[in-house]
Amino acid sequence: MTVRKSLVGEAKGIAMHHRFIRGVAAAALLLVAGAVSAQDFSAQRLSDEIRIISADDFQGRYPGTEGEKKTLDWLQAQYEAMGMEPGGPDGQWLQVIDLKRLTPKGQPTLIWSGAMPQGRALIAGADFTLRAMNDAAAGEVIDAPVVFAGYGIHAPERGWDDYGDLDVTGAVVLVVAGEPDGELFNGPYATNYQSAAYKADEAKRRGAVAVLTVIDGDAGAAAWRRETGGATRTRTLTPGSAELTLSGAVNRDIAAEMGVNLATLKPRLQTGDFRAFPLDVRITASAEETVEILRTHNLLARITGSERPNEAIIYSAHWDHVGVNENAAGDDKIFNGAWDNASGTIGVVEMARQLKAAPAPKRSIVFAHMAAEEMGLLGAYAYVADPVYPLETTVADINIDMLPLSGPTKDVPIFGKGQNSLEDDLQALAEKEGRYVSDDGQPQQNFYYRSDHFPFARAGVPALMPWHGVDWVEGGREAGLAAWKAKFGADYHRPSDEWSADWDLRSAVENLTLLYRLGLELANGDEWPTWKPTSEFGQVRDRSAAARR
């Protein structure tokens, strides 16, 4: 799972931590109702295979390294031994992904004109930031009109439209970061509307050429220092992202000069009554980048559906981790990523093993091992930008990232509870086992946007991401939550994330069993999971509704 810029790990509850990872579980057995096939997830097999691909000789599985080759070779060998079909493009196992790494070349320029006929040249870093994050690695706008679009949000399911009827074709759009406060936008849980990527997509969809985010601070403010601190770093272009000519930011004082007084406008931005308006300003600007290509790969395997092969259920997990860091403190420089995400990778392999042993499903089932998740979900974004199986007839994505490491739990937390009907299907299955589906309980982590289900959701495909249960059958929520925090704080994105024979994988077996049942129901049914009325992703899915009739 990708790391946030600020993570708080609580390395406490040591006794509970030891209990949390104690003992490898016995295998679980499930008889699917009405089916003659038996499913048998083995905790010991999970443990053994996690140990293999998180060993030191896999070098932390960083994209583009020998560690990638070893990982993908091992995965392919497993699927070939199962008799699985290659699931990638043109009957291949691998989907090639060329990631563009962009670094600023020289200083960007930005001149705005309005009341001053000669215009004003702004100072990069002090007044603005600007990047050409596009395939051309260069961008220029000349005498472009400028509009202010508030939060830049169009959310019909919430009755919210910052753009109104304003035509922004060919314009530079100024937006403020984030989203309105309050329950309309999910209260403590962020929606997709708060993201810079969404704001860029919406502006591009409406014909804009550039987006500048207004940072609520002057040139000396901490918020502006954070913005400028990252503006000159090498960034990887997200596959399929909005091809804006330019993107960047201006500080509060520059925005005010252009006609955007945040102090005056902010109350209006919260009401839903605000509408975008043009500024008496025009902008000429340019930026250029140098390009480095990093080649990596997704690996896909497939069971072809017997009746509707063009309809697909995808089980996904990222195979990569963060590699080797010679500057890391201590003697251990290898970030093995046993929990994150060798465990999820093996979860998908074992899901494939069990589903391959079941009768052929009516719909196709795809097992997708995504690259470069730790770099920003880039393998999943690359797949969604160039899908092997049409997104409009992809039934669902079920993502596995960091299998739970505990004894049995009553809860089955998921990221993004309240988004789509998959959670209702999972709840029905969980209830049969005396369990229940819950949210992740940690809105400050923004978990929903940090794993490979999210690019699918953003493209309109109903997606499900189960997480660690903390309501232990033996010990309850207080003990389970303390143990999870201790484990996460001690090992997440650290060299200490290594395989242990003491891992307790009983909860992993429980969750995999539920996801197996869910996948089979979807693969042998004819229903299409749906987004709930308040989900921001329903409008995206609706655009392809004709393909599912």
pLDDT tens per residue across span 86-114: 999 999 999 999 999 999 999 999 999 98
Vertex 11, ends 7 and 13: CA angle to 5°? 135
Nearest alpha-carbon partner for 147 in 77, 212, 71, 220: 212
CA separation for the pair 232, 226 (Å, rounded): 11
User: What residues contact residue 433 under an 8 Å CB cut-off, 6+ apart?
Assistant: 510, 514
The pLDDT score that the predictor gives to residue 218 is: 93
Pairing of strands 120-121, 109-113: antiparallel
Contact 2, 376 (CB under 8 A): yes
Query: For 248-262, b where at least 16 C-beta lie within 10 A, e where not — what string?
Result: bbbbbebbbbbbbee
The pLDDT score that the predictor gives to residue 46 is: 98
Q: What's the whole-number mean pLDDT along residues 139-165? A: 97
Q: How confident is the model at residue 310 (pLDDT cuts 50, 70, 90)?
A: very high
**Which residue is listed with tokens 């069990």?**
354
Nearest alpha-carbon partner for 513 in 27, 45, 78, 50: 27
CA separation for the pair 316, 451 (Å, rounded): 10
Taking only the tens place, the pLDDT of each residue in 40-59 is 899 999 999 999 999 999 99
The pLDDT score that the predictor gives to residue 29 is: 30
The pLDDT score that the predictor gives to residue 42 is: 96
Structure tokens belonging to residue 129: 């930031």
Q: 318 has which bridge partners?
A: 370
pTM: 0.92
Q: What's the whole-number mean pLDDT along residues 305-319? A: 98
Query: For 305-340, b where at least 16 C-beta lie within 10 A, e where not — what string?
Result: beeeeebbbbbbbbbbbbbbeeeeeeeebbbbbbbb
Q: What's the whole-number mean pLDDT along residues 6-27? A: 39
| Distance, C-alpha 492 to centroid of its chain | 17
The pLDDT score that the predictor gives to residue 363 is: 98
SS3 assignment, position 38: strand
pLDDT at 5 over 80: no
| Mean pLDDT of all residues belonging to the chain | 92
Structure tokens belonging to residue 165: 């009827």
The pLDDT score that the predictor gives to residue 93 is: 98
CA separation for the pair 512, 543 (Å, rounded): 32
Taking only the tens place, the pLDDT of each residue in 232-290 is 999 999 999 999 999 999 999 999 999 999 999 999 999 999 999 999 999 999 999 99
The pLDDT score that the predictor gives to residue 91 is: 96
Q: How confident is the model at residue 33 (pLDDT cuts 50, 70, 90)?
A: very low
Percentage of residues in the chain with pLDDT exceeding 90? 88
Query: For 75-111, b where at least 16 C-beta lie within 10 A, e where not — what string?
Result: bbebbeebebebbbeeeebbbebebbebebeeebebb
Taking only the tens place, the pLDDT of each residue in 282-301 is 999 999 999 999 999 999 99
Q: How confident is the model at residue 39 (pLDDT cuts 50, 70, 90)?
A: confident
pLDDT at 12 over 60: no
Residue 233 exposed, middle or buried by CB count within 10 Å (0-12, 13-18, 19+): exposed
**Which residue is listed with tokens 């024979």?**
501
Nearest alpha-carbon partner for 426 in 304, 294, 529: 529
The pLDDT score that the predictor gives to residue 1 is: 80
Contact 220, 82 (CB under 8 A): no
Structure tokens belonging to residue 179: 């989203």
Nearest alpha-carbon partner for 355 in 529, 528, 523, 509: 523
Q: What's the whole-number mean pLDDT along residues 133-140? A: 97
The pLDDT score that the predictor gives to residue 115 is: 66
Query: For 274-286, b where at least 16 C-beta lie within 10 A, e where not — what string?
Result: bebeebebbbbbb
SS3 assignment, position 200: helix
Q: How confident is the model at residue 118 (pLDDT cuts 50, 70, 90)?
A: low
The pLDDT score that the predictor gives to residue 395 is: 98
Structure tokens belonging to residue 215: 């940072």
